[in-house]
Structure 1
Amino acid sequence: MSGLDKATTESASLHGSYAWTDTLKGVQFGPGCITTALPKLLTTLGAKKALIVTGRSLREKTDVVKKVEDILKQHDTFGATFHEIGQHSPIADIRKGHQVFKNVGADVIVAVGGGSPIDASKAILYFHHQEKGGPYLHQIAIPTTLSAAEYTIGAGYTDEEGKKVAVSSPELAPAGIILDAELTLATPERLWLSTGMRAVDHAVENLYRPLIPPPVKYLCYSALADLFKYLPQSKADSSDVAARQKLQIASWMSLWPIKLEKYSALGLSHALGHKLGATYGIPHGITSCLTLAPVVALKADTASDEDKEWLAGVLFYLRKPSTGSVTEDVRKLSKEIDQLVANLGLRSTLTEYKVPREDGSKIAALAVGSTSDPEYPRVVEILEELY
């Protein structure tokens, strides 16, 4: 292949755009695309003044937010930057952000960072709509992690008691998403890789999530193939922008935007993560590292035959030989996930995060719904093994 042909192939695979109906107007992706993508989305939305919502570390320790500010200033749409969104999007931070949004007269939020600022921005827009009425205002999401919060219509945040709360509406989905891998270079390694495991969690649990159509499940297969390939590659060379861009696209495929007829929760690994995350201060990427492999092992025994077939099918996309048994293939997938966590240096325990051992039964009951659920005893065992 000539140098020109190779460059063209790489460009075609790493640059482009995608649009969907309703709220999401477009996804722009490619290294360096922020300079053209952000003005384009602002014009599409007819936005006049933007509030940047982000976290303190990203604002103070990197130049990512300044790059976004400079672009907004060049196009006379910069209102202010609110950089007080903490982990798990505390409600107090959201209320402060909402007040700043109103004070500057913003009509759009540009969320920069991981799941916390993106979900916080959804919550700000939700509360703004509750207060002011009229059409929902919009968010443009610029993720710097692989958590994929930008592809959902829900916003999870933490209330005054430290409990996870959610609001949801189709209008809360970001109106624009910008995947610029160059902006992820400053993301700390542990955060980058662990949110990559969160994307693995999304893709795996979508394979047995109710109401997900087969085409989306095949996207999840492709997402898993790339996540298993490029997460180790990104760990080995953190400056590999192409690998980072492919990981951002894999994260997108892991939680592809889709309108469902009714609400459909992802699965047990996510349920456990939600109960562990905000309550005990564990990042959601790390909860996926803890819970996904043992949950998949559990599914080898408890899932329907159809769900087992979908899970077992992952091995083909990972280029791993089948054991000859669907059930054993699901167990093998669990081991592959566990090994990936180990290879990425992300092994941890509930002890490290000071989760009281006696809380295990309560966490299990909350995750499955009740102590009478058939999976409850096994989930208690899973949590016990995580210490």
Structure 2
Amino acid sequence: MAAQGETYRLAFPPNQKPYISTGLPFHKSLVHHVTNTFHASKVYVIVSASISKTSNFSRLQSELGNKIVGVRYGIKQHVPWTDVLEVVNDINQKEADLIVTLGAGSLTDGAKVIAFALANQAFTLENLAKIAADAKPIDLQPCSIPIINIPTSLSGGEYTASGGATDMRTHRKHSFAHPSIGTNLVILDPTLSISTPERVWISSGMRAVDHCVEGLCSNSPKVTDSTDATYTKGLRLLVPSLLRTKKDKENQEARLDEMLGVIESMKGSKAGVPMGGSHAIGHQLGPLRVGHGETSCVMLPHVLRWNHLNGDETVKSLQRKVCGVFWGQEDIERMLKSRGLEPGTVDASDIVGALVSELGMPRTLKEVNVSEDRLDALAANTMKDRWSPTNPVPLKDKSMVLEILRMALGT
């Protein structure tokens, strides 16, 4: 039930969670739903280390009071298994009945894996390995502890029925998937996001752009006119708003449009549209300490270029859909032309690369401190990723991934 002044709706109607809350300051929406929607009395809070030092966290603590039974300060990027298990054991001991996250992508993914591990009594590294998707587990128990996310980035993990976490013994990121995994409520408050570092906000927005672009370029039979429409809507919300935010970080209208664009970017995934090489490589760049979203800034243009060079006419025509969306918006056209690009003379990789540069994000592996000696292992891990075979030009051999990585390496 909505609070007064709140818009409260499903992200993926008619019946797929999470619910979305907009229109209220985050703390007012949170208190309402903790009490009236979830009837929770033992709240466990996972807060980013930076936000924990702000008045926003103090306000959350004040509003929830003695309902808070535990606080975790930060989960490291790409969600190390050790971090997950520390929280799992703490929540289990404190018998929490609700998880609230306040912060960016790693907290969101972490909470989903934590809830799944709790449901399946995975309290050790060995037990956690047994419930990872690539272990093909059976007889899994569904998640039972609800989750509220209050995101401060555009990573989009709030909207997926899976979570990623990294086994630091192998530096490999694993997926944890189950129909029950996922957030119950996402509270969107653009005011809260203004303090997010620009690089984190913009790069996570590019991750959502990556969802849309790889979705539009997918040649899967799951692609429909409806999924194309949502990806197109997502790009039209995201790209102009990212350009506006870059110029004016206080623009709350642009920030809310970006948040809503993330939801559109995830609808195709909910319909089963697979991602491609940018996501596959990006998953494995994370354990090499490349920020979430920066992986898309670096890899998406190069994957598009490689696909264009190696794909058939169908692959090229799918990329032309992406070009049409970009050229169809005045603000974006102005930016592209200022960089010397003209319609009909460039491909999707040129356009996305221009956007990355305009936003001041990294475009090469060397810019994110990935050196040539890491490429072979990176390619080997990418071949194990679920999105490698669903790239528009399927990545069937490590040598194909290495070609893309060498293109992305930089000088």
TM-score (norm 1): 0.84
SS state at 2:50 partner: helix
> Which runs of 4 or more aligned residues in structure 1 lie more than 6 Å from their structure 2 counterparts after TM superposition?
none
Count of equivalent residues:
363
Describe the SS at the equivalent of 1:318.
helix
Aligned equivalents of 1:336 and 1:89: distance in 2? 32
- Counterpart-to-counterpart distance in 2, 1:105 and 1:349: 46
Q: 1:258 to 1:232 in 2, by over 3 A?
A: closer
2:147 corresponding residue in structure 1: 139
How far does residue 117 in structure 1 lie from its aligned partner after superposition? 0.4
Given candidates 133, 146, 152, the residue that maps to 2:160 is 152
Find the partner of 2:362 among 320, 324, 347. Answer: 347
Q: Which amino acid aligns with 1:226?
A: L
Q: Select which of 63, 66, 69 maps to 2:61.
A: 69
Give distance in 2, aligned partners of 1:351 and 1:194.
17
Deviates more, 1:48-57 or 1:310-319: 310-319
Query: C-alpha displacement at 1:245, in angstroms?
Result: 0.8
Aligned mates of 2:58, 2:14 — CA distance in 1: 31
Give the direction of change, closer, same or farther, for the CA distance of 1:257–1:378 in structure 2 (3 Å limit): closer
Q: Which amino acid aligns with 2:277?
A: L
Matches within 5 A, 1:1-387: 16-19=7-10, 20=13, 24-30=17-23, 32-36=25-29, 38-40=31-33, 42-60=35-53, 62-73=54-65, 77-131=67-121, 136-161=144-169, 162-209=171-218, 210=220, 211-256=222-267, 259-260=270-271, 265-278=274-287, 280-303=288-311, 305-306=313-314, 308-320=316-328, 332-368=347-383, 373=395, 377-385=399-407, 386-387=409-410
Measured at CA, do residues 347 and 160 of structure 1 come closer, stay the same or move farther in structure 2, by a change above 3 Å? closer
CA contact (8 A) 1:120 1:155 kept: yes
Tell me which residue corresponds to 2:340. none
Which amino acid in the other structure matches residue 298 of structure 1? W
Q: 1:169 Cα shift? A: 1.2
The CA deviation at 1:138 is: 1.2
SS in structure 2 of the partner of residue 186 of structure 1:
coil
My pick for the range that moved more, 125-134 or 229-238, is 125-134
Structure 1: stretches of 5+ with no match in the other structure = 1-13, 323-327
Q: Displacement, 1:333? A: 2.1
Report the CA distance between 1:319 and its aligned residue.
Answer: 3.2
Instruction: Report the 3-state secondary structure (helix = DSSP H, G, I; strand = E; otherwise coil) of the residue aligned with 1:172.
Output: coil
- In structure 2, the gaps of 5 or more residues are 123-140, 334-342
How much is the aligned-residue C-alpha RMSD, in angstroms?
3.0
Shift of 1:294: 1.2
Amino acid of the structure 2 residue aligned with 1:131? Q
Asked whether the equivalents of residues 58 and 113 of structure 1 are also in contact (C-alpha less than 8 Å), the reply is: yes
SS in 1 for 2:366: coil
Cα offset for 1:223? Answer: 1.2
Q: Equivalent residue for 2:132?
A: none
Q: Distance in 1 between matches of 2:345 and 2:167?
A: 37
Q: SS state of the match for residue 92, structure 1?
A: helix
